[in-house]
Amino acid sequence: MRLLLYCFVFLTSTAMAQVDTLEFLQRQLAKPLKMEERIDLLNRLSRAYSEISLSSAEQFANEAMRLSVSIHYPKGVAAANNNLGVYSAIQGQYTVSMDYFVKALEIREQLKDVTGISRTLNNISRLYVYEKDFDKALEYSNKALTQLQQVNDPEAIGNAHIILGTIYNGKGDHASALKKFSEARDIFHTNKFRSREGSAFINMAGVHEQQGNYAGALEACFRASDLLGDGADPFVVIELYQAIGSIYGKMKKENEATSNLHRALRMADARGDGNGRLSSRLKLSNMYKTFGRFDSALFYKDAYLSLYDTIFNAEKSKQIAVLEKVYQTERKDQLLEAKNSQIRMQSTIIAVIGFMLVVLSVFGFVVYRFYLNKKRFARELEVLNKEIYDKHEEILTQAEELSEANDEIRRINDNLEQEVLHRAARIKKQNEMLIDYAYFNAHNVRGPLARIMGLTYLMKGELSVERIKEYNQHLSTSAHELDHVVREINLKLQDG
């Protein structure tokens, strides 16, 4: 559990953490800098001091916060909030820590800072691990890992696996926990992160211990010790001593167990490490109980319970839940508003497209109706032209018949001179009558026929429906007139 606090401190660091020695940072701070650069440097100094003095680390973080607010520098505010959240968690002030983390997360989401978001989500996950709310812890840890997959940060991804392993271990899923710790160890080994590889071995030792594999657990602790070396992070060293002491206790080696657990307790008290102080007292109580030293076990159990009530109680747990709920509610409100905006935009687009479709449909209907009418008028004109042609053929036939009659009359006249003489007067009269009728009828036929031909010529290029209807009416009138003339000719010829 204590290794989670090391991850707390690590995940607040930047890609330049390898050069963040106190001496280097102090020299940089003495130089003339832009305000944003000074704020970033103060946050880095704060993280560097977290391994030496939490009070100094908090002072630098608070100064970074003050300057960031004064110039409206959201990145600096988010980093300061995240740092202060880590230091509050180390001291066991979980409600205050959650408040800082929620503020940092909201700002980093607005800035779309993927790496920052993942680190803060992991920090919130650790708070739920301390509460033993492993389902919530798993939810936030998976969110953090999803964010980290968007960036190339192997050390951060390795730490995310450490956190997931711790959650699975707390849920009693030792196989999954060991798998996650092993994946983290491989990532750290590949990228030559020796101290982080040592932390992974300590976590693996805890799983082996719970499974009763004490030899394997001790071996993992000794490998972690070799990797850590001098100058290792004190929080990790506390965890290492606790792990070794707990394993020796279960192996019934009281002296080794007592020595390591007391060493972890002294370091935790000196560092003001709330979680280390709690876990060291609880492990000492369990160890003394194992060896039958119940007075000492009761002493450390009372000390643990007293410290636990001071650091973490049910009311604080409720406050943390409320803070997390507030964040989730605000987050959902933001997503809902974004979704509503998207729906409104889509509705507007759909309405415009719908209107355009209606206009196009009406236009298409009008064009289609015009096409049908034009086609119908063309058919009617074709019928009229055929009728005119038929009438013309009929007139030609009648003219031929008249010519044949005249030929017959001339033949009769040639052969029957007497008949001609006898009927000369009558024939002359008939011929005169025929000539009159022919002249009269020729003019009567020519008039309507000329009008029909003229109307046909006009209709070839006409597009107006109303004018075409008017031409059709005139055509019909002329055709009937022509028909009447033809019939009158027939009657006159029959009478003659």
pLDDT digits (tens, 9 = 90+) for 255-273: 988 888 898 889 888 877 7
Residue 403 has a pLDDT of: 79
The one-letter amino acid code at 227 reads: L
The CA-atom distances, in angstroms, between 477 and each of 146, 384, 449, 451, 454 are 88, 11, 11, 10, 14
| Cα–Cα distance list, 257 to 42, 341, 433 (Å) | 41, 62, 154
At 17 the pLDDT is: 40
Calpha distance 31→40 (Å, rounded): 14
DSSP letter, residue 461: S
What is the per-residue burial (b if ≥16 Cβ within 10 Å, else e) of 425-460?
Answer: eebeeeeeebeebeeebeebbeebbebbeebeeebe
Residue 229 backbone dihedrals phi, psi, to 5 degrees: 65, -165
Residue 234, amino acid: P
For the chain, count helices (H), then strands (E): 19, 0
The distance from CA 68 to its chain's CA centroid, rounded to whole angstroms, is 32
- Cα–Cα distance between 282 and 293 in angstroms, integer? 14
Q: What is the structure's pLDDT at 83?
A: 92
Full-model pTM: 0.50
The token pair at 372 is: 């049908």
The pair of structure tokens assigned to 93 is 């002030």
User: According to the model, what pLDDT value does residue 21 have?
Assistant: 66
**Residues 265 and 242: beta-carbon distance below 8 Å:** no
Residue 76 contacts residue 111 (beta carbons within 8 Å): no
Determine the 3-state secondary structure of 56 from DSSP: helix
d(CA 216, CA 182): 14
How distant is the alpha carbon of residue 429 from its chain centre? 106
The distance from CA 330 to its chain's CA centroid, rounded to whole angstroms, is 19
User: Position of tokens 């202060």?
Assistant: 84
- Taking the C-alpha atoms of residue 126 and residue 101, their distance in angstroms, rounded to an integer, is 11
Is 224 exposed, middle or buried, given 0-12, 13-18 or 19+ CB atoms closer than 10 A? buried
What is the reported pLDDT for 315?
40
> Residue 368 and residue 489: Cα distance in Å, rounded?
46
> Taking Cα atoms as reference points, which of 80, 62, 88, 81 lies closest to residue 5?
88
Q: Which residues fall within 8 angstroms of residue 78, CB to CB, at 6 or more apart?
A: 103, 104, 107, 108, 111, 113, 116
**Six token digits for residue 491:** 């009657």
Give the pLDDT score at 440. 62
Interior/surface letters 238-259, b for 16+ CB within 10 angstroms, e for the rest: bbbbbbbbbbbbbeeeeeebbe
* CA 169 to chain CA mean position, Å: 35
Cα distance between residue 495 and residue 141, in whole Å: 118
Rounded CA-CA distance 28/449 in Å is 112
Given a contact cutoff of 8 angstroms between Cβ atoms, the answer to whether 283 and 258 are in contact is: no
Q: Which residue has the tokens 């030559």?
A: 192
Instruction: Mark the ranges of the chain whose per-residue pLDDT is less than 70.
Output: 1-21, 51, 229-232, 311-341, 344, 413, 416-417, 419-421, 433-434, 436-442, 493, 495-496
Predicted local confidence at residue 61, as pLDDT: 92
Torsional class of 132: left (φ above 0), alpha (ψ -120 to 50), beta (otherwise): left
> Distance from first CA to last CA of the chain, Å, rounded?
135
